[in-house]
Structure 1
Amino acid sequence: MTSLAFIFLLSFLSAEAARSKYPPKAASNPVFGPRQVYGLIDGSVTVKCFYPPTKVNRHDRKYWCRESSRNCLTVVSSNGYTSPSYQGRASISDYPEQGVMVVNVSHLALSDRGTYQCGIGLNGRALSYKVSLDISEGPNVPEEAELFYVELHGSVTMTCSFGTDTVSMRKFLCKMEKSGCRNIIDTYGKIDEEFTGRALLSNEDTKGAFSVMITQVDWEDAGLYLCGVGFYGESGETKELDLHVYEGTNVPQGKNTVIGVKGSSVTIECHYDPAKNYSLKYLCKWRNNGCSRIIENTGFVYDTYEGRVAMFDNPQNGTFSVVMNQLRETDKGYYWCMTNDERERKSSKELKIIEGEPGLKGKEEVLAEVGSRVDLTCSYPCKYYSYGKYWCKWSNNGCSPLSASDQSQPGVDVNCDTANKTLVLTFDSVTTMDQGWYWCGVKRNGRYGETLAVYLQVAGEKAAELNPELLNLDTSSNAVAPSNAVPQGRAFSNAGVQSAAASESSEPSSGSNALTVALASSGAAVVVLGAAFAVFKYRQIKRSDLVSVGSYRTNISMSDFESVKEYGANDNTCMKESQETQLGGDEFITTTASVESAAETKKAKRGSKEDADLAYSAFLLTSNAIAQGCPPGDSAAPATASPAWDGQV
């Protein structure tokens, strides 16, 4: 009973599930040609037959024969034989590199109707294909189906053109079946489930023309297709496409599905003919309306994939690998391996993203300052102990390996601490040129495995560490500058200290003893003058006026301006009074009293205030002269300073 139930269940399984395992009977024949050809009386016909381009088939005999009740009589062969009844009107051409034989028959007659075979070898032995030839009186000849001979797991591109009037019409490809024509793909975005990720419809440069590419062709893809515009059976035009699949001798059996862990990386391996020289290899992501290019061997990388996708080419075994890391949920889908050769096999891979824990771990972003030491770390699990490990610097053209022996990377060291299971990339002194993407990865037997992408961000220039001697030089230079910027006659509480510091920093080291005596005398003078200055300042505040200077308002003593005018008007440092032009008048006096009364008033107020003012001003001038390096006899103070204060304005 159990066996009967099992057989009963098997009867419900669809034949579609087993079709991919065993090729259809029609597809098992490696030689393929048109099912039906048409010709006109007195016209000609050309028949193209395909065969696997193996070494044996390339050099074997090709023939065209006509079937009879007993056998197939040879009409023409590649050995040079031609049947007497076809002398001068039948020929055969062989193209072994492409695996194609072409038969041409001219001066057709109604008697040429019948069934023929194109084949390889001395007899049929299953390496032949039947072709039916029909002759009509015309005037028009039915259009034959276009043939496409595709290797198993290979790719095919079918092109159709229906004129400029069909540009705005719906374009489609459907497959003929008993129930009708099953839609495979159209410009409305509808794609058959079995062809999702494998079929791509694109508009050609010629208006009204389009092409359909199918990758990963399997046995069940063989059959008759229709490409057209409009809707099948209702409106528009169609064209027959006959697709045949054969099993090649060196078909790469790569995985059609690739699984990647979210946040980790994945490698997509693409195959090509190593004997050919391709100017373009690239990987694109399949979409309903096209295939978006991600990376090319020319250096192009799509913006959103910058730093996380790289191509590694291996011409020795005819593969190029595309590594993609920092996987996201949006990365899932179908990816196509492409070249610029139309006949080259195009393959598609489905990428699935799953949740999990990445094997390689480390900081994905590192910030460093110029000149500092930086370590980029990459921890790996025990399963990668036997793998080769590497660090490389990413660019649009690939990922350049970094190693301790690489002289082109000074200051870079790669070492692996097996105890901590960490691969470390060290920069002894990082520079702005080091900024960019770095990859840590593993590989084995020439195949690239998991990778980790790290972005190194280098901050601006590091602050220079100043030498103490340079700091002393900067201090002395800064001490001189304020003496030129601030009027010497202004009453600053730290004026004496600044002057002393200026004098100390400007004297030569050999005169340190003399400088010590001078500083001691100056210190005593500061103490005496401090008391006098306090009395002077108190009286000065009483008669201060509110003066506007630019946008500021402040209390400034009128005597400050007088001191500036009288003692601070010299522009030439260390210049004697006799060498400077004396300015007359005092533009700051605003009183309406006569000159004489003003002089009397000023003279009456001199007293102790004027003495303190003169003593303080003389001290400032002397200190300033010492700071400027002037000899004592060349003091900028006027020799006859006192008479200038006799009331003459």
Structure 2
Amino acid sequence: MTFLVFIFLLSFLQVESAKISSSSSIFGPRQVTGLLGGSVTVKCFYPRTNVNRHDRKYWCKESTRQCATVISSNGYIAQDFAGRATITDFPEQGIFIMELSKLGLKDIGFYKCGIGLNDRGLSFEVKLDVSQGPKVPEGAELYYKELGGSVTMNCAFGTQYASVRKYLCKMGKTGCSTVIDTYGNVNPTYKGRALLSPQETPGSFVIYMTQLRKEDSGLYLCGVGEYGETGESKELDMHVYQETAVPQGRHTINGVIGGSVSVECRYDPRRNYTLKYLCKWRKNGCTQLITNLIMMIDSYEGRIVMHDNPKNGTFTIIMNQLVAEDAGYYWCMTDGDVERKSSKELKIIDGQPGLTGLKEVNAVIGTRVTLSCSYPCKYYSYQKYWCKWNNRGCKPLVSYEQNQTSPAVNCDEENKTLYLTFNQVTQTDQGWYWCGVSHSGHYGETMAVFLRVNGGTIPRNADYEVPDISNSGSGKRADFPADSSSPSSQEHDNSKVILSVLIPIAVVCLLLGTVFVVVKFKLLKRTELVSVGSYRTNISMSEFDNPRELGAKENAGINNSQETQIGGVDEFVTIPANTESAEEPKVVKRGSKEEADMAYSTFLLQASKVAEGNA
């Protein structure tokens, strides 16, 4: 009973192994050649499924009846090959290598490298030839690539071919048909999928091929000069297998003028990729547009951004403000031990962008600004967002919150409009802002708006109302006038009022202080000499209660006078008509008190004029 169960399990494992691997195939060199008495190395590739990694690998020699095992990974080795055959498995890389030494003429024949319990499993036929020398022909370089994946082929020739035509062609029944060359010729089947890039070393170049198809399997030649006529060539043998852990997205993307597109690039999340980038394909190169290492072409400022999601193995490139020249092929690129490349074709078609709004807005520092983005009904259930763009990405801005000072996002679902509001715009708010939609973690359409913040005087009584653009399509720009209720406007008006009050007060205080000092000095330090009639004597002003009683006239010796009324009392301030020609009048001496009174009146008059002049 136990024996029957064992046989059943063994058969089950063998069936499962064949089932799991049936969609793929093992691959190796079509022919290998070694020198007599020398050795050969055969490298065989296999899909890296769990069953294949742990299954038996073998090397067998074909005959008319069977394929007799030479050596296997289980430890078996045929007697005729003892001491000169080895097999080594590298399951993490999906490779096992067989080496055979001390080659003899009897070793010539057909062999198989395979996986499974017997020769009816997965296998690949290899022809072994033994040469007596002196030189062994170089074998084809092998490339084992998954369906939809990419490949990099390195070709190096001498410096004498630096200026000669370089090419890649595929062998067929009638010759070798050109795939791509440095003259700009590209086979239509490979347009946008193949790229030839010269290297720094003269005579060396690299061929990249992406979006690999099953029919891409076959023998290729990379060379310099003309195939079959001049130059040199090298064989490249490629096999495309079906098994892949990386899903493939759509390869053609449609966009409209002024609109946007999202390019989703996929990679194996189990692998470590240092570099991820998008480049635009050309016949003689691929122009790098943006990378995950914060590198971007200046002409794409505000137009392109990258979002990387290592959890699901995708990085998304969003490009907006599309123009006709953006049509073409774009490559998603990665580096690492197993590189990842894929291509997408962008087609510009007729139509209108789904998201509409003003594309440029001017505002003044301190004002309230609102950016608007209208969306169609098809995006009603989508997630909507505003983000601020920079060369590192586009940072999402928060939804509306009460009393917050930072920019706030608010959605008017009735009018199908998404708003971004700045209560008091600052200089640091200047830049690109993106309105966008997303659905189930996938980025959709976007619209870019440039906010330009200017300084300067804020006009009074200027209010801004958000324009209704829900049905107006996309505009070019909007100018935001200043808001008179803003703090900067109030501070400007208050400063003018304060200055108009402080200047007169300062002048009055200065004059008052000067007069006080003069009068005080005269009262304390001086006794005036007063003339009474024809007599002269020293008399203190305190002895005169009324100067009129002594016959003194207030206007004595004054030719011209101007009358000014101050405080209801008639005072006279003299203004000489001509100080040079006027005859010098007889001076009437006044007492200190009288002079003080007149000086005080003069001060009041001048202070009043100053105040009126600054009012």
- Which band: TM-score by shorter chain? 0.7 to 0.9
Q: Is the CA contact (8 Å cut-off) linking 1:480 and 1:627 kept in structure 2? A: no
Alpha carbons of 1:403 and 1:105: their partners in 2 closer, same or farther (altered >3 Å)? same
4+ runs deviating over 6 angstroms: 405-409, 504-508, 522-529
Alpha-carbon deviation of 1:233? Answer: 1.4
Alpha carbons of 1:414 and 1:89: their partners in 2 closer, same or farther (altered >3 Å)? same
Distance 2:57 2:343 in 1: 35
- The one of 82, 85, 91 equivalent to 2:80 is 85
Distance 2:569 2:166 in 1: 106
- Give the corresponding residue for 1:35: 30
Alpha-carbon deviation of 1:106? Answer: 0.3
Q: Please list, as runs of the form range in 1=range in 2, the aligned pairs for 1:158-557 lying within 5 A after superposition.
A: 158-341=153-336, 343-404=338-399, 410-460=405-455, 464=488, 465-466=490-491, 470-475=495-500, 503=508, 520-521=565-566
Letter aligned with residue 291 of structure 1: C
Distance 2:199 2:607 in 1: 86
Letter aligned with residue 181 of structure 1: C
Alpha carbons of 1:436 and 1:624: their partners in 2 closer, same or farther (altered >3 Å)? farther
Q: Match of 1:235, SS?
A: coil
Q: Is the CA contact (8 Å cut-off) linking 1:259 and 1:352 kept in structure 2? A: yes
Distance 1:407 1:121 in 2: 69
- The one of 102, 109, 130 equivalent to 1:107 is 102
Distance 2:571 2:158 in 1: 106
- Give the corresponding residue for 2:117: 122
Alpha-carbon deviation of 1:207? Answer: 3.2
CA RMSD of aligned residues (A): 3.3
Cα deviations across residues 514-567 of structure 1 (Å, max 9, x unaligned)? xxxx984399999998xx89xx5xxxxxxxxxxxxxxxxxxxxxx8xxx8xxxx
Higher normalized helix content (fraction of residues): 1
Q: Match of 2:160, SS?
A: helix
Q: Match of 1:474, SS?
A: helix
Alpha carbons of 1:623 and 1:442: their partners in 2 closer, same or farther (altered >3 Å)? same
Q: Is the CA contact (8 Å cut-off) linking 2:400 and 2:410 kept in structure 1? A: no
- The one of 569, 574, 582 equivalent to 1:606 is 582
Q: Is the CA contact (8 Å cut-off) linking 2:23 and 2:243 kept in structure 1? A: no
Q: Match of 2:243, SS?
A: coil
Alpha-carbon deviation of 1:411? Answer: 2.6
Q: Match of 2:27, SS?
A: coil
Distance 1:90 1:297 in 2: 47
Alpha-carbon deviation of 1:475? Answer: 3.1
Aligned residues: 499
Q: Is the CA contact (8 Å cut-off) linking 1:402 and 1:409 kept in structure 2? A: no
Distance 1:140 1:468 in 2: 96
Letter aligned with residue 167 of structure 2: F
Alpha-carbon deviation of 1:386? Answer: 0.7
Distance 2:269 2:238 in 1: 27
Q: Match of 1:452, SS?
A: strand
Which consecutive unaligned segments of at least 5 residues does structure 1 have? 1-26, 482-501, 512-517, 537-558, 564-601, 612-617, 629-649
Alpha carbons of 1:80 and 1:479: their partners in 2 closer, same or farther (altered >3 Å)? same
Q: Is the CA contact (8 Å cut-off) linking 2:356 and 2:373 kept in structure 1? A: yes
- Give the corresponding residue for 2:532: none
Choose 123-132 or 68-77, whichever is displaced more. 123-132
Letter aligned with residue 181 of structure 2: D
Q: Match of 1:441, SS?
A: strand
Choose 69-78 or 354-363, whichever is displaced more. 354-363
Letter aligned with residue 344 of structure 2: K
Q: Is the CA contact (8 Å cut-off) linking 2:564 and 2:572 kept in structure 1? A: no
Q: Match of 1:57, SS?
A: helix
Letter aligned with residue 392 of structure 1: C
Alpha carbons of 1:519 and 1:410: their partners in 2 closer, same or farther (altered >3 Å)? farther
Identical-pair percentage: 56
Q: Match of 2:273, SS?
A: coil
Letter aligned with residue 32 of structure 2: V
Alpha-carbon deviation of 1:326? Answer: 1.0
Q: Match of 1:231, SS?
A: coil
Q: Please list, as runs of the form range in 1=range in 2, the aligned pairs for 1:548-627 lying within 5 A after superposition.
A: 605-606=581-582
Q: Is the CA contact (8 Å cut-off) linking 1:476 and 1:506 kept in structure 2? A: no
Distance 1:380 1:523 in 2: 77
Alpha carbons of 1:91 and 1:525: their partners in 2 closer, same or farther (altered >3 Å)? farther
Distance 2:160 2:121 in 1: 45
TM-score, structure 2 as length reference = 0.75
Q: Match of 1:216, SS?
A: coil
Choose 249-258 or 324-333, whichever is displaced more. 249-258
Alpha-carbon deviation of 1:302? Answer: 1.2
TM-score, structure 1 as length reference = 0.71
Alpha carbons of 1:46 and 1:421: their partners in 2 closer, same or farther (altered >3 Å)? same
Alpha-carbon deviation of 1:28? Answer: 7.9
